[in-house]
Amino acid sequence: MKIHVLTTGGTIDKVYFDAKSEFEVGPPMIAELLKEAHVTAEVTIEPVLAKDSLDMIEADRQLIRERVAASEVDRILITHGTDTMAETARTLAGIAGKTIVLTGSMQPARFRNTDAVFNVGFALGVVQVLPPGVYLAINGRVFDAARVRKNRERQRFEEAD
Amino acid sequence: MKIHVLTTGGTIDKVYFDAKSEFEVGPPMIAELLKEAHVTAEVTIEPVLAKDSLDMIEADRQLIRERVAASEVDRILITHGTDTMAETARTLAGIAGKTIVLTGSMQPARFRNTDAVFNVGFALGVVQVLPPGVYLAINGRVFDAARVRKNRERQRFEEAD
Amino acid sequence: MKIHVLTTGGTIDKVYFDAKSEFEVGPPMIAELLKEAHVTAEVTIEPVLAKDSLDMIEADRQLIRERVAASEVDRILITHGTDTMAETARTLAGIAGKTIVLTGSMQPARFRNTDAVFNVGFALGVVQVLPPGVYLAINGRVFDAARVRKNRERQRFEEAD
Amino acid sequence: MKIHVLTTGGTIDKVYFDAKSEFEVGPPMIAELLKEAHVTAEVTIEPVLAKDSLDMIEADRQLIRERVAASEVDRILITHGTDTMAETARTLAGIAGKTIVLTGSMQPARFRNTDAVFNVGFALGVVQVLPPGVYLAINGRVFDAARVRKNRERQRFEEAD
């Protein structure tokens, strides 16, 4: 089974550039995570953006949508910042025949303690099994993109009312 | 959605007991992994065995089967040593109405570089979505329990002929 | 032998506050590092500042100097941002009878790959053995505070001309 | 300043060989640790043995002594298993003009939580500053080789009576 990964930035890829004493979105970590987990599934990776999701504008979401629609693969995993992940997910509604799963992390993958590795594993699993549609996969749960929100105070995703 | 986890030992839980200068199966790591990943899914954990899977005997596999059958939850995740994971999986055939997923790791969860965190995330994802049956979830792939084997030379799981 | 640690912030203590999607100086990491290393030396820890060292002003350096001078312990370890570590070190010149060692890191202690743990170990070692004076301990080397500078391009400390 | 490192095995270098489901002394980790810490000191590394220190025999200790004596460098760091580290240290008594420091770890360097990185940093620091003699550097303390023992129950080194 083929899975196509689109990377867009977010906390999961944040890195510390000491030369500037700043913390920024760095190169995508997902290839390294898949290698460390000895993944033998057929995965292709396409970097699309490298943005903090708070900085994403409508054109960014349209670009992501175009790349998803253009992919010849029907299992799509998107790594994304958590702050506007739900918003991007809703922009992806209505693409027929594709299972689209978004994930990300609250703590950078480069940290010693992080939710990134687990989340990528979780998302790579459910994208292979779920029927076509758009989903968020985080906090060990699968959320329908149409009914999910980030609760910033509690630092987790919840079903929206 | 409820998920019930049975732990049986294996490399994933190996720990280094310095007082004896030995490397042994230690306390299950899964609760710690779920906490680090901020998992909010409803997960219960039941320690069943703490064995290297090369040391498992038929009675061990029957015990695991009994515990699976006795569970009131129909989504079951089993952490297990990789060497005889496929054998245990085949012992679990024929339990009606339950989705049973086995996972483990090639490197201990306590290592800095390990496949354990990814694998547990992957398995916790697919167990929530797959239809009833028995599966191995490892190497970023879902295997049918009836047709899988560990290739020790290549250190990975493959579909059996 | 007693060692007194003053923490002032810097990259070593940087943390990712997801609720704000920012990377800031967090609580000092040194107590955790000493515990993980099973340190049985007699160490006391005093938080003085929690600043990126680029933001330190002259009053901050005077505060550090006052705390060093006021300590009853004559082996002093200071954790500090690397950007102005050499400058603070020079401010500490002339305090009689005390061995003062400054260290820090290029990558946060909370990262999976970091120089923080090694540097704190290194500094805690040399502070116990060096004669009175002010030193930087980083990059596996001991530098005289009067003749050291950070080479930002090469991301390392060097002897100044 | 030049430092010569001799590696002899021990917990610090233990690795998990999954193909055999065994935990053994693997390749020396120290080069990787020095690289991660951006060490610019002039360090040479010489692998001498790769043994659990409980398995060392008198001939092993004589070999280590010969290599120390033969080195043209007068600052020597030895990585060693903790169980008989004190015994080897005493075998090294009487080598004139050399500062010899032994270190190791209670948990493997490949673990996520380990004392190995701190200990190597600590030892690399004190070996540069101590006068000629033989020392153990562990638990954040410098011990005189003639008066130290491992307390296995408490999992730490102490001054012998």
pLDDT tens sequence across A38-89: 999 999 999 999 999 999 999 999 999 999 999 999 999 999 999 999 999 9
C103 CA: distance to closest CA in chain D (Å) = 12
Tell me if A155 and B124 make a contact (CB, 8 A cut-off).
no
Question: Burial level of A57, CB count in 10 A (0-12/13-18/19+)?
Answer: exposed
Tell me if D18 and B153 make a contact (CB, 8 A cut-off).
no
Contact in structure between B97 and B149 (CB atoms under 8 Å): no
Question: What count of CB pairs under 8 Å joins C to D?
Answer: 121
Residue B160's pLDDT is what? 87
Residue C18 has pLDDT above 80, yes or no: no
* C49: confidence class by pLDDT, cuts 50, 70, 90: very high
Q: Which chains border D (3 or more CB–CB pairs < 8 Å)?
A: B, C
pLDDT (average), residues D71-98: 97
Q: Which chains border B (3 or more CB–CB pairs < 8 Å)?
A: A, D
* B19: confidence class by pLDDT, cuts 50, 70, 90: low
C11, C16, C112 ranked by CB distance to A14: nearest: C16
Contact in structure between B124 and B115 (CB atoms under 8 Å): no
pLDDT (average), residues D107-117: 95
Residue B21's pLDDT is what? 67
pLDDT (average), residues C125-129: 98
Residue A96 has pLDDT above 80, yes or no: yes
Residue A151 has pLDDT above 80, yes or no: yes
Residue A23's pLDDT is what? 75
Tell me if B117 and A113 make a contact (CB, 8 A cut-off).
no
A1, A34, A122 ranked by CB distance to B121: nearest: A122
Residue C10 has pLDDT above 70, yes or no: yes
AA identity, residue C124: L
A52, A112, A155 ranked by CB distance to C110: nearest: A112
Residue C101 has pLDDT above 90, yes or no: yes
B117, B129, B141 ranked by CB distance to A130: nearest: B129
* B35: confidence class by pLDDT, cuts 50, 70, 90: very high
Q: In the predicted model, what is the mean pLDDT of chain C?
A: 95
AA identity, residue A78: I
Q: Per DSSP, what are the bridge partners of residue A25?
A: A14
pLDDT (average), residues D11-32: 85
Residues of chain C above pLDDT 90, percent:
88
How do residues C141-152 score in pLDDT, each as one tens digit? 999 999 999 998
Nearest CA in chain B to A35: B115
Nearest-angstrom CA–CA distance, B135 and B141 = 10
Nearest-angstrom CA–CA distance, B23 and A119 = 29
Residue D21's pLDDT is what? 66
Contact in structure between C101 and C88 (CB atoms under 8 Å): no
C32 CA: distance to closest CA in chain D (Å) = 11
Residue D19's pLDDT is what? 63
Counting other chains too, the contacts that D153-158 makes at CB distance below 8 Å and 24 or more residues apart are D153/B19, D155/B18, D155/B19, D155/C38, D155/D106, D156/C38, D156/C40, D157/D82, D157/D86
Residue B16 has pLDDT above 90, yes or no: no
How do residues C61-83 score in pLDDT, each as one tens digit? 999 999 999 999 999 999 999 99
Residue A124's pLDDT is what? 98
Residue C25 has pLDDT above 80, yes or no: yes
Residue B22, token pair as written in the block: 């030995």
Contact in structure between B127 and A139 (CB atoms under 8 Å): no
pLDDT (average), residues B15-27: 78
Tell me if D124 and C140 make a contact (CB, 8 A cut-off).
yes
- Buried residues in A148-158 as b, exposed as e (16+ CB within 10 A): bebeeeeebbe
Nearest CA in chain B to D10: B21
* A160: confidence class by pLDDT, cuts 50, 70, 90: confident
Residues of chain D above pLDDT 70, percent:
98
How do residues A113-140 score in pLDDT, each as one tens digit? 999 999 999 999 999 999 999 999 999 9
pLDDT (average), residues C45-55: 95
pLDDT (average), residues B53-72: 97
Q: Which chains border C (3 or more CB–CB pairs < 8 Å)?
A: A, D
pLDDT (average), residues B107-128: 97
Residue D21: list chain B partners with CB under 8 A.
11, 52, 54, 81, 83
* A20: confidence class by pLDDT, cuts 50, 70, 90: low
Contact in structure between A7 and A34 (CB atoms under 8 Å): no
B11 CA: distance to closest CA in chain D (Å) = 8
| pTM score of the predicted model | 0.94
Tell me if C122 and D119 make a contact (CB, 8 A cut-off).
no
pLDDT (average), residues D143-159: 93
Q: D31: which DSSP letter?
A: H
Residue B14: list chain D partners with CB under 8 A.
16, 23
Residue D20's pLDDT is what? 66
Give the list of residues 6+ apart from residue A146 with CB closer than 8 angstroms, or none: A90, A93, A134
* C160: confidence class by pLDDT, cuts 50, 70, 90: confident
Q: Which CA distances in Å does C95 have to B43, C90, C100?
A: 58, 11, 9
* C17: confidence class by pLDDT, cuts 50, 70, 90: confident
Nearest CA in chain D to B153: D19
Nearest CA in chain C to D30: C118
pLDDT (average), residues D96-105: 97
Residue B20's pLDDT is what? 66
Residue C22 has pLDDT above 80, yes or no: no
Nearest CA in chain A to B109: A37
Q: Which chains border A (3 or more CB–CB pairs < 8 Å)?
A: B, C
Q: Which CA distances in Å does C84 have to C28, C90, C129, C153, D85?
A: 18, 10, 25, 15, 40
Residues of A with CB under 8 A from a CB of B: 1, 33-34, 36-41, 43, 106, 112-115, 117-126, 128-130, 137, 139-142, 155-156
What is the edge-to-edge ordering of all strands in the sheet holding D141-144?
D42-51, D2-9, D75-79, D99-103, D133-138, D141-144
Residue C161's pLDDT is what? 74
Nearest CA in chain D to B151: D19
Residue B135, token pair as written in the block: 């599966």
Residue C9 has pLDDT above 70, yes or no: yes
Residue A11's pLDDT is what? 93
Q: Which of B34, B35, B44, B118 to mutate to test the interface with A (most CBs of A within 10 A)?
A: B118
**Which is higher by pLDDT, B1 or B136?**
B136
Tell me if B14 and D16 make a contact (CB, 8 A cut-off).
yes
Residue B161's pLDDT is what? 75
C34, C139, C156 ranked by CB distance to D140: nearest: C34
Q: In the predicted model, what is the mean pLDDT of chain A?
A: 95
Residue A141: list chain B partners with CB under 8 A.
1, 39-41, 128
A150 CA: distance to closest CA in chain B (Å) = 13
Residues of A with CB under 8 A from a CB of C: 11, 14, 16, 18-19, 21-23, 52, 54, 81-83, 106-108, 110-114, 152-153, 155
Residue B116's pLDDT is what? 97
Name the least confident of A93-107, A117-131, B10-24. B10-24
Residue C21 has pLDDT above 90, yes or no: no
**Which is higher by pLDDT, B18 or B2?**
B2
